[in-house]
Structure 1
Amino acid sequence: MPRYALQVEYDGAPFHGWQRQNDFPSVAGAIEDALAKLEKGAHKIAAAGRTDKGVHALGQIAHCDMVRDWTPFRLSEALNYHLKPNPVSIVNCAVVPDTFHARFGALERRYLFRILPRRAPVTHLRGFVWQIKQEMDLDAMRNAAKVLVGRHDFTTFRSTICQSASPVKTVDKIGIEAVETDYGTEIHFDVRARSFLHNQVRSFVGTLERVGCGSMTAEDVQAALDARDRAACGPVCPPHGLYLAQVTYPEPLFD
């Protein structure tokens, strides 16, 4: 039974997250339904990250098992045909060993968060950036972000419904850059770790946004981290600015 790795891109707005649900649309459900049109029967796919309701992806990685030997090109084309009109796309497809697992084999996950500081309402980017109405101090945010890099107990930045066995995680990087676009200067957060707690990235960005706007300092972020108390966290930012951008494995999956 051949196994295939899929690079999946999607707009998370119409979905109640990645994970299949009985009563609500999900990204996994859309792909599994498309697979069932290619080979009858129940299909189950696994993914590198179970993104929440409204979160987007540029480089989600999933794997599926098929009965037939499909060429990667034919499988991706057939899936994209049957995924219509869902805003989900199979960008890459490759045959992988049956020992490959999209979730457990990942070495690093990279999330992108986009903020657009501007007064005028967002039109073309609505649902794809978090708009705030004041300028942000990038240097202050970068300085505060250093507090969160490394191995820490991230209880403060963890959802109360998080199911992870431990709040201790290692954050490899939090990069913050200004990116010029046709719609204004966006602030991009590049957050990398092997794995994350539930709502951890959105909690980071919500807290750092408060630093950028002058309501908190790097010392406040350190105190919040040390408190190990969810109440010490800044606001959890909305999901629509967040993207699962890339997942890294020991070997490249696609040519």
Structure 2
Amino acid sequence: MRAYRVAYDGRPFHGFQRQPDVSTVADALLDALVELDLLAAGGDGPTRPTPPGYAAAGRTDAGVSALAQTVAFEAPDWLSPRALNAHLPESVRAWAVADAPDAFHATHDAVRRAYVYHLHAPAADPDRARTAAARLSGSHDFHNLTPDETGTRRDLDCRVESGRTLRVRVAADGFPRQLVRRLVAVVRAFAAGECDDDRLDRLLSATAVDGPEGVAPAPPAALLLARVDYPELSFTPNETAVADVRQLFRERRRRGLASAGVADSALDDLG
């Protein structure tokens, strides 16, 4: 069994997990294994064959990016990150590998996952954002902030750092669907004065808060799966592959700055 750290720009994909008739990160990885003659072709979405022991650390949503997504399966020793990258799109890069026990499971054996959300909210008060993050930290039943009906009680750490954007860092042993992005939406609303203490208490209470009073998730493109911890694994980075990951995100930054420049020019010309 081998485990691979995988980074990707999630914007071109409909999430990580295999789905019928749409492009996903998992499909890109499985396509690479087919091209490497390590996997039989066939099937679509969830019906696609996977290697023995195949599992991933998490199912990132459509548009969400990752630095430390972790995928494990039975793989030959020669399958290095560079060998895998030779058959992956440039938006997906494997960059480190670890030998894992035969019984290793990339989903269940992760003890900690950490996400970072870059929140552009000029009207937000950073101190109020940090207050909301502190209130959301600890052990709560987050049933009002996820569409999942089970696994909603989590003990998490939520912090806010100031900078060009507000960086909302959230860590826990696991996350139900959309929880991180809905937490970010709550932080933004509280920091902008659109959510008061009573509403925050209701969201964390046993009372159901849904419909018009529910919380919609923040947009996905600003979210990054930054870290996944496995105490029993020791990953070996490949320097060339790490350089490729740096280039991937440098190019994303360059394109983002160029796009912002277009918007700035249009706004300037409109006075």
Normalised to the residue count of structure 1, the TM-score between the two structures is 0.82
**Distance of aligned partners of 1:234 and 1:84 in 2 relative to their CA distance in 1, 3 Å threshold:** closer
On the 8 A contact 2:71/2:106 being kept in 1, the answer is: yes
Number of aligned pairs? 223
2:74 pairs with one of 47, 65, 75: 65
Is the aligned partner of 1:230 residue 2:230?
no
Give the aligned CA root-mean-square deviation in angstroms: 1.7
> Partner residue of 2:191?
212
Counterpart of 2:60?
51
Structure with higher helix content: 2
Determine which of 92, 95, 118 is the counterpart of 1:91. 95
Deviation at 1:98, TM superposition (A): 1.2
Q: Give aligned-pair identity as a percent.
A: 35
Please list the CA deviations of residues 92-132 of structure 1 after superposition, one character each: whole Å capped at 9, or x if unmatched: 11222212111000101101101124xxxxxxxxxxxxxxx
Aligned-partner residue type, residue 61 of structure 1: T
- How far does residue 40 in structure 1 lie from its aligned partner after superposition? 4.0
> Could you tell me whether the CA contact under 8 Å between 2:99 and 2:233 is conserved in 1?
no
CA distance, structure 1, for counterparts of residue 142 and residue 223 of structure 2: 19
Cα distance in 2 for partners of 1:63, 1:78 equals 15
Query: Hey, which of these two has a bigger chunk of strand by percent?
Result: 1
Alignment CA distance shift 1:84-1:158 (3 Å): closer
Asked if the contact 2:202/2:209 (under 8 Å) is kept, the reply is no
TM-superposed CA distance for 1:252, in Å, is: 4.2
Residue identity in the other structure for 1:240: A
- Find the residue that maps to 1:214 and give its secondary structure: coil
Contact kept, 8 Å, 1:153 with 1:169, in 2: the verdict is yes
For residues 233 and 253 of structure 1, do their structure 2 counterparts lie closer, same or farther at Cα, with a shift above 3 Å needed? Answer: farther
Q: Residues 5 and 253 of structure 1 are in contact (CA less than 8 Å); yes or no, is this contact kept in structure 2?
A: no
Answer whether contact 1:49 1:103 (CA < 8 A) is retained.
yes
Q: Which 5+ residue runs of structure 2 have no aligned equivalent?
A: 41-49, 237-271
Check if 1:253 corresponds to 2:234.
yes
Q: Which residue of 1 aligns with 2:7?
A: 9
Describe the superposition over 1:230-252 as per-residue Cα deviations: whole angstroms up to 9, x where unpaired.
34443321111111110011234
Aligned residues of 1:154 and 1:228 also touching (Cα < 8 A)? no
Alignment of 1:165-176 (within 5 A): 165-171=150-156, 173-176=157-160
Structure 1 runs (4+) greater than 6 angstroms displaced: none
Q: Does the 8 Å contact 1:177/1:187 carry over to 2?
A: yes
Aligned to 1:197: 176
Distance 2:194 2:150 in 1: 32
What does residue 130 of structure 1 align with?
Answer: none
Shift of 1:153: 1.4
Residue 167 (structure 1) shift:
2.2
Give the alignment of 1:56-205 within 5 angstroms: 56-66=65-75, 68-70=76-78, 75-85=80-90, 87-117=91-121, 134-159=122-147, 162=148, 165-171=150-156, 173-179=157-163, 185-205=164-184
